[in-house]
Chain A
Amino acid sequence: MGLRQSQTVTLTSSQAVRFLVTLIGDSSIALPAQWVRGIVIPTSVGRDGVLTWADASYEPSDLAGRLKLASQGRSAETRVVLYGHDHQRRSFAVDRVVGIVDVERTMIQPLPAHFRGAERDRLLGLFAEKDSVALIANPFWILDFPSRKNALDVFVLCLSEHRSGETEGRLQLPVATLDAVPVGHAG
Chain B
Amino acid sequence: MLRGQLRKQETTATRGTGGGRPQHMVVFAVAGKRMAARTEEVAGVVSWTGAIPVPSETPFVTSLVRQEEGCLPVFDLAEKFKRTMREGESLCLVVKHVDGPLAIRIDPEVPSLQMVSRSSIQYHIGDDPDCAGLCVAAGEQLPIINLATLGVSSSRHAG
Chain A residues within CB distance 8 Å of chain B: 26-27, 67-69, 107, 109, 112-119, 122-123, 126, 128, 132-133, 135
Contact = CB atoms under 8 A, between A and B. Distances in A.
Contacts of B52: 132-133
Interface of B: 52-58, 61, 64, 66, 69-73, 75, 97, 99-100, 102, 151, 155, 159
A117 B97 CA distance: 18
Contacts, number: 64
A123 B52 CA distance: 15
Given A109-B70, A115-B56, 12 more contacts: A27-B54, A68-B57, A109-B71, A112-B72, A112-B100, A113-B99, A114-B100, A114-B151, A115-B61, A118-B57, A119-B58, A128-B70
Given A112-B72, A113-B99, A68 B64 contact: no
B9 to A, nearest CB: 28
Contacts of B159: 116-117
B155 A116 contact: yes
Given A128-B69, A128-B70, A133-B71, A117 B56 contact: yes
A113 B18 CA distance: 42
A135 B54 contact: yes
A112 B66 contact: no
A27 B56 contact: no
